[in-house]
Structure 1
Amino acid sequence: MASTTPHQEELDPRDPRSLLVHARDARAAEEAHGREVFIAAARWALAHPAADEWDSACVPGTERELAIAGQGAPLVAEFCIDEFAAAIGLSTDAGHYYIGDALELAARLPRCWKRVEAGEVPVWRARKIAQATRLLSPEAVELVDQRLASFAHSIGGRGIEQTVKAAEAEADPELLKARREAADDKRHITIYSRHVDFHGRVDIEGALDLADALDLEDALAAVAAQLKDLGCTESLDARRAMALGELARREASLTFDAAGEVEPPARSKRTLQLYVHISHAPGQNPFGSVARVENTRTAIDLDTLRSWCTDPDTQLVVRPVLDMAEHRSGESYEIPTLLREQVILRDVTCVFPHCTRPARSADIDHIVPWDEGGSTSTDNLAALCRHHHRVKTHHGWTYTSTSGPPGSYRWTSPHGQQYLRTPTGTTTISRPLTTTA
């Protein structure tokens, strides 16, 4: 008989009270299950202590010890993160932080952890405490644990921050002073290249020294004026934005001709690299009226793409057109350039379960190793980031390509969990794990 959520039998969509009771009980069940997963994460970390450093030192790429919580917490075996993270549907990076938060609480904040185990502190609030204490010394984190434990169930972010700062000031006054001095420098330039709108625009923010800011202001004004003199009809704001791109491609310095007139500086051409995918439906664009930009994993409209291609200051590089359905191969272990490019474009990211690291910066792995008879070919190569390449080589993970869409792989973990990774994501396809009484 299928299980039901609390009060599912009595749920009446016309009865507001019934809906509230159902929502309340369902949320309580959700929190209880989340707490069980979080507790399991801490126990998993404690069950996988760091391996012998001698093996890691002698065999390059093998498992290393990993510090995922604060000073004094046990070190864990590096590759244990991958299997637990995959089992609960997280990437390795997200799993690193999730398990680290659980270990931080279990090992360094025992009073707060006891309340988490008892169901008195929600996991999301406990994780905020763990994230705030990870850089504290053992003496400071002990003070935080003493002072927060009794009201950890209700404290907010500001309260956590104030408690941590007070404990740090009391336990580590010199360290706090050094961090305060380091934090005084807030200079930065942040380009949100992963958040591109449909017209190919991105946001930028930053903080500069006043002298640098004034120099940049003068340079933007000068180049914006030059663009206007060259016939640009965009608004001043738009020309200032364009000027920043110009500054990235050449020096914004004024030169003079023999008559003493201002001579526009030479403009470096920008390079635009396009990837053309062949559609099985002749004359049709498989992406509709948009193009995919690999660098940012976003889509832009074709009119924007055309404007980039027809811009006289854009250097258009035409690369060989790759038919993604074509089978390619090489005669040696080394991977030919076009075959490597085909694998990168096909896989897009590292093909380990839930991993999203770009394929372009990944290793190209022989699924069946070359020295075991594996070929250097389209159907025996896949993109693996360096970490997951090491996991596959040294920790018992195996995978095969499947007969599904190109870029589909079946993975099996050391404990027998199986996952299907396709271009649309990762799915758990078997759960052979069993427990004993």
Structure 2
Amino acid sequence: MLFIAEKTSRTYTDDYDTVEDTEAAWKSAAAEISLASDTSHGRASNDMEIGLALATRLPKVAELLLGGQISEYIARRIVHRTANIIDPDVLATVEAYIAEAATTWGALSVKKLDNAIDVWVNRFDPAAVRRVRVRVRDRGVEILETKDGVTEVLLRLTGADAALYWQRITAMAKGVCTDDPRTLDQRRADAHGALGAGFFHLACQCGNPECPAAADDDGRASQVVVHIYTAAATLDAQPDPLMDGDAPLPPDPGQPRSDITLVYPDGTRVPLDGEPEPAREQESTNDGSPAECRPTADVQQEPESENEAAETPAPCVPNPPPGILVGFGAMPAPLIAALIARGAPVRHLTAPGTDPEQRYRPSTALQEWTTARDLTCRFPNCDRPAQFCEWDHTTPWPAGKTHASGGKMYCKLHHFGKTFWAGWTDSQAPDGTITITTPTGQTYTSKPASRLYFPTINTTSAPITTPPPTPTPPGKINHIPTYRKRNHAKQRAYRINAERKLNDTHVAEWNRPPPF
């Protein structure tokens, strides 16, 4: 943290001439720290705040951290809970008491740790206590983990809105016929897709062409453009009927199972109702590989005859590769097949040509191809989906060419930084590999994310000739209009003062004279 603080202090100062200068210096430093520490830009910016606070506001806490007497997490919580103290003398007093007790806080829970810090903040500066506000201020929507094509979404709503929401999705879920294979909860979940497409009904999946609810499109597959990138082989996959409805029932324990045999790694075959059979040598093909393709300790049916046992089973066929819904992880092939079956259009990408396009803005085909190749912002450690990014000429136009080998996707932050932050430059290879050079001369590489998910697909485009990259000049930031009212330090001070004012009632109660 203190190394980060030193780097920040050498790069950033609040005394720049313009607001844009200070913001560019802060974000440029955050980008360098993000690359060096292999973290996101937001985490790097937060580490800069923590490091500066330890170096300039809380030297005793920093000393405990350097000596290994407290953990980094405890130091972070101390910085956070004391951030609203603006009087240096009060801060020094609070820090002295905290530093004396902090070495015993290692086993505390998060809530108890915050309370232990707040005891001293509240004693000397009640207006600086960081309180949990009314729960309604915490309402929002969060996209959580995505696994096997299913994404968890967390909603925090007011009670009235939650009642309306539940009433709506339940009514939509019950609007299909009784032959729909999905459970009520599955239909409630699918109703969100229809709502997202702008529809208030759910299409029935009973498969009956005479069903009136099946004839109405709910827009989940046909109305809204959602880019799912996949290999051509995935388009031949079939929907999985077991994705809907209740889970299959386990076998009846009382049912005879004499036709089931357990096969162990050494070849021993054990009928579930009999004694172990002697191990037999595994048959091999001409190339020495096993003739059978089965997992060890798997459950298999006993062959009915010797001829059947002698037959070589069919080779294992790999499953179709999944698709990628950028920002939400992998989409299994059966889910993509189900979308196509419901009317989702399939559009094949057009590979870029050999010659550059003779204009500044890329064509729709080039934009789509570059988006599919990159999948995310190309700056290392940035996961912004490419469809929300901007097409960037690696060598600035007009010297740079509008071509797949000379352009990539950058999010707005990193596109702005590459263009206006002093000392930054990048170069690009025909396969999409980006080499980024920082103002201090450090280099980092970034490869297209599609190479991780589709390693067999060749995304290399034709080479082009461009001038060597040149670093962004220092004064370029001054050529853009000012759109911020406060620099980084003033914005932080404004937030602290606003939060302190929210504690006016608490301070008045704390300072109320007796009788209480």
TM-score in terms of structure 2 length: 0.59
> What SS does structure 2 have at the residue aligned with 1:47?
helix
Contact 1:274 1:318 in 2 (8 A): no
Alpha-carbon shift at residue 355 of structure 1 (Å): 2.5
Contact 1:196 1:202 in 2 (8 A): yes
**Aligned partner of residue 54 in structure 2, secondary structure:** helix
The AA in structure 2 aligned to 1:381 is G
- State whether structure 2 residue 177 is matched by structure 1 residue 228: yes
What SS is found at the alignment partner of 1:202?
strand
Q: Relative to 1, partners in 2 of residues 1:418 and 1:220: Cα closer, same or farther, differing over 3 Å?
A: closer
Amino acid at match of 1:48: T
Q: Which residue of 1 aligns with 2:502?
A: none
SS in 2 for 1:376: coil
Corresponding letter in the other structure for 1:146: A
Mapping 1:108-257, distance limit 5 Å: 108-138=57-87, 141-142=91-92, 144-155=94-105, 156=108, 157-170=110-123, 173=126, 180-183=132-135, 185-192=137-144, 195-198=145-148, 200-229=149-178, 231-248=179-196, 249-251=198-200
* Residue 433 of structure 2 is aligned to residue 408 of structure 1: yes
1:242-268 CA-partner distances (Å, limit 9, x unpaired)? 334344432369xxxxxxxxx969654
Structure 1 residues 420 and 220, CA, compared in 2 at 3 Å: closer, same or farther? closer
Provide the identity percentage.
23
1:349-375, Cα deviation, whole Å (9 max, x unpaired): 22223322222222211111114x211
| Gap change, CA 1:120 and 1:51, over 3 Å in 2 | same
Q: Secondary structure at the match of 1:305?
A: helix
In the other structure, the counterpart of 2:362 is: 335
List per-residue Cα deviations over 1:196-236 (Å, max 9, x = no partner). 221x222233343333333333333322221235x313222
Instruction: Give the counterpart letter for 1:243 in structure 2.
Output: A
SS in 1 for 2:322: strand
Aligned partner of residue 426 in structure 2, secondary structure: strand
CA distance in 2, matches of 1:138, 1:289: 63
Q: Does 1:40 align with 2:7?
A: no
What is the Cα deviation at residue 184 of structure 1?
A: 5.1
Letter of the structure 1 residue corresponding to residue 345 of structure 2: V
Alpha-carbon deviation of 1:381?
Answer: 0.7
Which secondary structure state, in structure 1, belongs to the residue aligned with residue 446 of structure 2? Answer: strand
The correspondence for 1:421, drawn from 443, 446, 450, is 446
For structure 1, the 5+ residue unaligned runs are 1-37, 57-61, 67-75, 254-262, 426-437
Summarize the Cα distance change of 1:337–1:172 in structure 2 as closer, same or farther, 3 Å threshold: farther
| Contact 1:122 1:153 survives alignment (8 Å) | no
Question: Which residue identity does 2:53 align to in structure 1?
Answer: E
Closer/same/farther in 2, CA of residues 233 and 275 from structure 1, 3 Å limit? closer
Give yes or no for contact 2:406–2:428 (8 Å, CA) kept in 1.
yes
Map Cα deviations across residues 375-419 of structure 1 (whole Å, 9 max, x no partner).
11111112222222232223211111136xx22112221111111
Indicate if the aligned counterparts of 2:392 and 2:408 stay in contact, CA closer than 8 A.
yes
Deviates more, 1:144-153 or 1:379-388: 144-153
SS in 1 for 2:155: strand
Unaligned runs of 5+ in 2: 203-211, 238-317, 451-516
How many angstroms apart in 2 are the aligned matches of 1:181 and 1:363? 37
2:327 is aligned with 1:296: yes
Separation in structure 2 between the aligned mates of residue 267 and residue 80 of structure 1, nearest angstrom: 50
Question: Given the superposition, is the C-alpha separation of residues 93 and 216 from structure 1 closer, same or farther in structure 2, using an over 3 Å criterion?
Answer: closer
Change over 3 Å in CA distance of 1:190–1:335 after alignment to 2: same
Aligned to 1:13: none
- 8 A Cα contact 2:231 2:321, kept in partner: no
Task: Give the TM-score taking structure 1 as reference length.
Answer: 0.69
Q: What residue in structure 2 maps to residue 364 of structure 1?
A: 391
Give 1:149 deviation, angstroms: 0.5
- Residue 241 of structure 1, CA deviation: 2.4
In structure 1, the partner of 2:350 is 322
In 1, Cα distance between the equivalents of 2:129 and 2:217?
48
* Cα drift, residue 112 of structure 1: 0.8
CA contact 1:126–1:152 (8 Å) conserved in 2 = no
Q: Which one-letter code corresponds to 2:183 in the other structure?
A: S
**Distance change >3 Å, CA 391–CA 288, structure 1 → 2:** farther
Match of 2:36 in 1: 87
The structure whose Rg is larger is: 2
In the TM superposition, what is the alpha-carbon distance from 1:305 to its structure 2 partner?
A: 1.1
Cα distance change of structure 1 residues 334 and 243 upon mapping to structure 2, 3 Å threshold: closer
Partner residue in 1 for 2:310: none
Higher relative contact order, structure no. (Cα contacts within 8 Å, ≥ 6 residues apart) = 2
* Letter matched to residue 197 of structure 1: K
Q: Distance in 1 between matches of 2:37 and 2:115?
A: 33
In structure 2, what is the Cα distance between the partners aligned to 1:152 and 1:269? 56
Q: 2:128 & 2:136 partners in 1: Cα distance?
A: 14
Among 22, 31, 34, the alignment partner of 1:64 is 22
The answer to whether the 8 A contact 2:31-2:41 is kept is yes
Partner of 2:426: 399
